[in-house]
A and B are shown apart, each in its own frame.
Chain A
Amino acid sequence: MLLISCPNCGPRDETEFHYGGQAHVAYPEDPYALNDREWAEYLFYRDNTKGAYAERWVHSTGCRQWFNMLRDTVSYEIQAVYPMGTPAPGGSAPGTTANTAQAPEGASK
């Protein structure tokens, strides 16, 4: 069981949260310009990282707010919790480089 520190509510059990997958996957600027392969890669292809991984979580039974988390996929150590729309601390985690500073529209609602 992970103890996750919600930025609004403080530490709560993992069961109060839902996982939102890899963070910093930017919505394509012009979706119509993508071919099927690129669209499929945007929708379904994610990094499969061993180590620090930037991911989205929502505190579903608490404040119902989304946030980002940097978590080690091997040790489960939570290295950072930071707001939606901000780059991952350190900037070296997969999915945190280049054109990925913005979360998808509506993700913070």
Chain B
Amino acid sequence: MVETAAATASNNGVREARRSPAAHLAGTFEAASLAGVAEIKEIPFQTMAGIRVQRDSDAGARIAQVAGGLPATCGEVVERDGVSVLWLGPAEFLVIAPENAHESLGGDLLPALTEALGDGQGQVVDLSANRTVFELSGTRARDVLEKGCSLDLHPRSFKAGTALSTEIGHIPAILWKSGEDTFQVLPRASFADFLGRWLVDGMREFASPEVP
């Protein structure tokens, strides 16, 4: 599948034609980052599918087979083979997969999920262009987020491998702690510019030379 995807991607021009919601901030992100302390980059074009289905229904079980599972509680993330499923609500989930899982690049994730839903109650919607991903990492990443997020982000409460819907800098976003010092921030595309600049602003004090 990967070979097919690579071949399709280089042939059909889709990859080259895409422009991500924060593409214009790439230089700003790079300039604002200080390795290991506070770094930010955009991970664009992830394949995302919005799923609404009851976990305990037949359709839910079929979708779980394709997606690798459906998380049961708030914050839980199920991961299998590079595909992650985030809990958004009791019957609402977000599937996140690499770019080449999308059918425009030769993947088959969405058709497979749609087929799994079948005529069961629920929906599978392609949300790949709905959100972008900012990866904020470094020892001060949590301090940056704490400037504008009301969640308790202390490691004793917010553990690596969990994801929560919340507000960051007054922007509705999903906050996914993918590693001890690594956060994936998922704003909707139209908020990417604002939130990107907001995070850069929050990073400034940590990524600047110390004043003696």
Contact = CB atoms under 8 A, between A and B. Distances in A.
Contacts of B89: 8, 63-65
A15 B165 contact: no
Nearest to B150: A13
A10 interface: yes
B167 A9 contact: no
B88 interface: yes
Given A8-B74, A12-B150, A16-B150, A64 B92 contact: yes
9 contacts: A8-B74, A8-B90, A9-B164, A13-B150, A61-B165, A62-B164, A63-B88, A63-B89, A64-B88
A11 B33 CA distance: 33
B121 interface: no
Looking at chain A's contact residues, the main secondary structure is loop
Interface in A2-18: 8-10, 12-13, 15-16
Contacts, number: 34
A16 B151 CA distance: 10
Given A15-B167, A61-B167, A62-B166, 20 more contacts: A9-B74, A9-B164, A12-B150, A12-B151, A13-B150, A15-B150, A16-B167, A61-B165, A61-B166, A61-B172, A62-B74, A62-B164, A62-B165, A63-B74, A63-B89, A63-B90, A63-B92, A64-B88, A64-B89, A65-B89
Interface string B139-174: 000000000001100000000000011110000100
Contacts of B92: 63-64
Nearest to B171: A61
Interface in A59-91: 61-65
A6 to B, nearest CB: 8
What are the 8 A-B residue pairs with the smallest beta carbon separation, nearest first? A13-B150, A63-B89, A9-B74, A61-B172, A62-B165, A61-B167, A8-B74, A64-B89
A9 B90 CA distance: 10
B25 to A, nearest CB: 24
Contacts of A65: 89-90
A10 B74 contact: yes
Nearest to A64: B89
A63 B151 CA distance: 14
Contacts of B167: 15-16, 61
B90 A16 contact: no
Interface in A32-68: 61-65
A102 to B, nearest CB: 20
